[in-house]
Amino acid sequence: MSTEVTVVEVGPRDGLQNEDVIVATDDKIELISRSVAAGARRIEAVSFSHPRLVPQMADAEAVMAGVPRGKGVSYIGLVLNRRGLDRAMAAEVDEVNVVVVATDTFSKRNQNVTTGEMLDAWEKIAADTPAGVRKSVTIAAAFGCPFEGETPPERVAEIARRAAATGADEIALADTIGVGVPGQVRDLTRRVRAAAPGVPLRFHFHNTRNTGYANALTAVEEGVTVLDASAGGFGGCPFAPAATGNIATEDLLYALHRSGHVTGLDEDAVAATGAWLGGVLAKPVPGLRGRAGGFPARTERDS
Ligand code: MG
């Protein structure tokens, strides 16, 4: 069955956030512009966290001032409090996303609040978000926690229930440390659908243990139509230091397109972006599609 899948390009925010080298504002804008040109229509562009806590995102306003507008692209900004929301609205993002970590230990280390306190913060942000601005909740560490081990799926479902009851337009389940497997994808999809009926689901996978793409394809089999991915596969997690990053957009596109699904994105263009970003970061590209090329090989007739 052919499904129309929206691939959310998270490279500009999630891909870059944990890089030690501060990426120039112009390079961030180029990454976003390349993604738009390749067909991306939802882009996680920036975070409005405090610049002292997340120095890589200190230029969020300058980035948003330089992104291409008017091409039907929806730009997502991360916010974690009222101040962040105000900055996001002033910078004219199209969507706000709030991250709620599913386990208390990880949540305290990451955001200095418990899961319940972050849900309270989300509720305030949701109430203050102007109508017409999509607001979503990402449930981080939904598949496992570096400190507590297994994340109870009932707990993930309960967070989803509260997010839905307080106005989430979308719920994303993130495998932040890359421990998930397809059976978990199926289980969580069903539980969260039951807990938050009618709220669209999005998944965010890492390829830490080489299960990221299998998980993504499983989500699509379960009827999920929105997936996060990062050009080149950059973007690790500071709490999983040896981990590789997000699934690579170009590799995900290859798997989706060859399975008959439709994304509207140009695989070759995204692969070129991944290679370019590797140059900017002076790092090898985790994604493989750029190195291997597409299949079947393109002929003159195709181009
Ligand atoms: Mg990530």
Q: Alpha-carbon distance 301 to 20, whole Å?
A: 43
Query: Residue 301: inside a domain, yes or no?
Result: no
Query: How far, in Å, from the CA of 227 to the mean position of ligand 1?
Result: 12
Residue 150 lies in a domain: yes
DSSP bridge partners of 75:
43
pLDDT at 27 over 70: yes
Check the CA dihedral 262-263-268-271 and report its sign.
Answer: negative
How far does residue 253's CA lie from ligand 1's centre (Å)?
17
Q: Evaluate if residue 281 carries a pLDDT over 80.
A: yes
Give the C-alpha separation, 269 to 53, whole Å: 33
Cα(14) to ligand 1 centroid in Å equals 5
The band of 242, judged by pLDDT with boundaries at 50, 70 and 90, is: low
- Flag whether 130 is in a domain: yes
Q: What is the CATH number of the domain that holds 130?
A: 3.20.20.70
Beta carbons of 191 and 222 less than 8 angstroms apart: no
Task: Say whether 145 is catalytic.
Answer: no
> Is residue 299 in a domain?
no
Catalytic position from the list 93, 121, 160, 237? 237
- With a cut of 70, say whether residue 289 has pLDDT above it: yes
Look at residue 72 and tell me if it is in a domain.
Answer: yes
8 Å CB contact between 46 and 93: yes
Count of domains forming the chain? 1
pLDDT of residue 302: 55
pLDDT-derived band at 249 (thresholds 50, 70, 90) equals very high
- Going from the Cα of 15 to the center of ligand 1, the distance in angstroms, rounded, reads 7
Domain that holds residue 115: 6-292
Distance 287 CA to ligand 1 centre (A): 14
Provide the Cα torsion 147, 141, 115, 151; round to 10°. -70
Rounded distance from Cα 298 to ligand 1 centre (Å): 31
Dump pLDDT digits (tens) for 128-186.
Answer: 999 999 999 999 999 999 999 999 999 999 999 999 999 999 999 999 999 999 999 99
Per-residue tokens: 217? 């394809």
Mean pLDDT computed over 11-37? 96
- Token code pair at residue 279: 């140059």
> What is the pLDDT averaged over residues 76-82?
97
Helix axes 249-258, 212-221, angle to 10 degrees: 40
| Residue 1 within any structural domain of the chain | no
Residue 243 — very low, low, confident or very high, per pLDDT cuts 50/70/90?
Answer: low
- Is residue 15 a contact partner of residue 22, using CB atoms and an 8 Å limit? no
pLDDT at 18: 85
Domain assignment present for 104? yes
Interval 186-202: pLDDT, tens:
999 999 999 999 999 99
Domain assignment present for residue 303? The answer is no
